[in-house]
Amino acid sequence: MKIVVGERNLAPHRDLFLSLLPAGVAVSWHETFDEDSIVADLPDADVYVGGRVTPAMARVGHRLRLVHTAGAGTDKVSFADLPAGTDVANTFHHEDSIAEYVAAATVLLRRNLLVQDGALREGKWATSVYRPELPQPRTMRGATVGYVGFGHIGRRCADLFGAMGARGCAVTGSGRVADATGLEWHADTTELDRLMTESDVVVVSAPLTDRTAGMIGAGELDRLGPEGVLVNVGRGPLVQERPLFEALRDNRIAGAAVDVWYRYPEGGDAQAPADLPFHTLSTVLMTPHTSGVTHDTFVGRVRDITDNIRRLDAGEPLDRVVASGAR
């Protein structure tokens, strides 16, 4: 069996990855994504590990039995070009890391720490102790957190916020949730306006589909209101770019943590994440899609991926298959 690895986030865990594979497996590593190099390597491969499978890659992978992403997303896999019989599987393990990010970012924004930090660097004490016109910030106790999407990530966030004394509510595409512990109510997305109105904090982690793209716009942000905080760890286009920028610029919402964006680098690490200048706003925490990028996340993913490779080698059913080669 030959495995081609085109996922740079697995490189720090190469020794662990190799140690968990069946005997006799050959592994070819590509620590940077070079499509031409990977295309040249795929014709005799049985397994490809990586989040991006271009049409050219898929068409030359004549022997591929398994494509395994190193994350939850499969939106960059060219399913239509894969050979018949190829299974596609994904993996998670990011929910704890993302929930930690969401909780930390929310406290940072509700306590106004970004603005305080910027002011103090200029010698100004932006606190009600010295400026009585400034309000005293609130803790999470008694706050309502609204979840737009409530899968693995929402569940972990609700656990953390519940420990802080916050309440929760959620909307999902189906209106169902696997575990409603800590939620005062949940419904389908027809109740999005209610959620935005009732929430002090809104956590967006829904999948990006034709139905969900742009689901949060100016009206929804206005319902969140001038004391509300938005945290987007789902996909950038779930929240409309210009309405979000203008709501932050005009103080129609209190702040936002944005980890997922509207523009991504095509090569290297240089790319403005949006057409609009979010970097000029003092109430937005900007991070480069790193909420789930931790050591713990990728150790868990290595174990999932190598377990599926072992299953494939042994002729056993695979786990976490999102598209079956039997189609």
pLDDT tens per residue across span 32-84: 899 999 999 999 999 999 999 999 999 999 999 999 999 998 989 999 999 99
Question: What is the 3-class SS of 51-84, one letter each residue?
Answer: CCECHHHHHHCCCCCEEECCCCCCCCECHHHCCC
2-93+295-323 matches 95-286 in fold: yes
The most distant pair of C-alpha atoms in the chain lies apart, rounded to whole Å, by: 71
118, pLDDT greater than 70: yes
For residue 188, how far is the Cα from the chain centroid? Answer: 21
Distance CA 248, CA 251 (A): 5
Name the percent of the chain lying above pLDDT 90: 97
Collect all residues with Cβ–Cβ distance below 8 Å to 188 and sequence separation of at least 6.
Answer: 171, 172, 173, 174, 175
In degrees and rounded to multiples of 5, residue 141 shows phi and psi of: -60, 125
- Residue 327: HSE in the Cβ half-sphere, 13 Å Cα cutoff: 14
325, pLDDT greater than 70: no
Q: What is the CATH number of domain 2-93+295-323?
A: 3.40.50.720
Collect all residues with Cβ–Cβ distance below 8 Å to 130 and sequence separation of at least 6.
Answer: none
Q: Among 3.20.20.220, 3.40.50.720, 3.30.1330.20, 3.40.50.2000, name the CATH number for the domain at 95-286.
A: 3.40.50.720
295, pLDDT greater than 80: yes
Per-residue confidence band for 327, with pLDDT thresholds at 50, 70 and 90? very low
